[in-house]
Amino acid sequence: MKHCIVVLTLLSALSAGFVAAQDKSPSVVPPGINDNFKKPELNVDEWMAKLEVESREVYAARDEVIKACEIKAGERIADVGAGTGFYSRLFARKTGWDGWVYSVDIAPNFLQHIAARATADGIENLTTVLCTDVSVRLPPESVDLVFICDTYHHFEQPTASLASIFRALKPGGRLVLIDFERVPGKSRDFILGHVRAGKDVFRDEIESAGFEFADEVDVKEFKENYMLRFRKPE
């Protein structure tokens, strides 16, 4: 009986250790990662000061990023995790009046800001879309390009979200992913604690969702970010 108790105790300890190891896995999204974005008191001006500044790599490299997206006039583009919408506005101008941009986000305040800014700037080919943690809420085969910039690591249900993105893309459509390099011993503590996994894990997840990997784009301004391009099979 004593031996049984010892064995059970050891098994319990090993099980607890396994669960703890799982909880610390970089593949686990930090709990509540999107809670603040859903709050009505979200201050958009504060986020603009963080996101739309030259010291932020993806803002400083915006012209090079837009070029790498290879947008053609008349294309329909989904900016998923649009934030303050500065890429959405660039996309709207690039695709022209015959094209359309869907600014997709989980934060109502961001979407209100994007809509108001588009109206003020005379941008009429843009629609805001309130998404959920499992779907981008876009019609099947409705877009030519899905752009995800520094927000994929915020996906609380990446498998479900990727499935909805796959459905929303037209056959042959492109997915562009920009996110943070997460390299233990090299990346900043903020990235290590905030971003759940590295580039290889994210690439595997996207390919597992049915996308074909196209290439990685070398963006000269990027020191902490990377840019990957994928395609939905014809």
Q: Express each pLDDT in 7-36 by its tens digit.
A: 333 333 333 333 333 333 346 788 888 999
DSSP state of 103: E
DSSP state of 153: G
Q: Tell me: do 5 and 70 sit in the same domain.
A: no
Q: Tell me: do 24 and 35 sit in the same domain.
A: no
CB 176 within 8 A of CB 69: yes
pLDDT for the residue numbered 71: 98
Q: Tell me: do 69 and 84 sit in the same domain.
A: yes
Q: Tell me: do 120 and 186 sit in the same domain.
A: yes
pLDDT tens digit string along 141-194?
A: 999 999 999 999 999 999 999 999 999 999 999 999 999 999 999 999 999 999
Range of the domain at 180: 31-231
Q: Tell me: do 5 and 107 sit in the same domain.
A: no
For the chain, what is the domain count? 2
Q: Tell me: do 127 and 142 sit in the same domain.
A: yes
pLDDT tens digit string along 90-126?
A: 999 999 999 999 999 999 999 999 999 999 999 999 9
Q: Tell me: do 16 and 41 sit in the same domain.
A: no
Q: Tell me: do 74 and 5 sit in the same domain.
A: no
Average pLDDT of span 198-213: 97
Closest CA to 175 of 198, 151, 206, 201: 206
- Residue 215's Cβ-count burial label (10 Å; 0-12, 13-18, 19+) is exposed
Alpha helices for the chain (secondary structure H): 2-23, 35-38, 44-51, 57-60, 62-69, 86-95, 108-120, 158-168, 189-194, 199-208
Amino acid, single-letter form, for residue 231? R
Q: Tell me: do 181 and 70 sit in the same domain.
A: yes
User: Which tokens go with 24?
Assistant: 């610390």
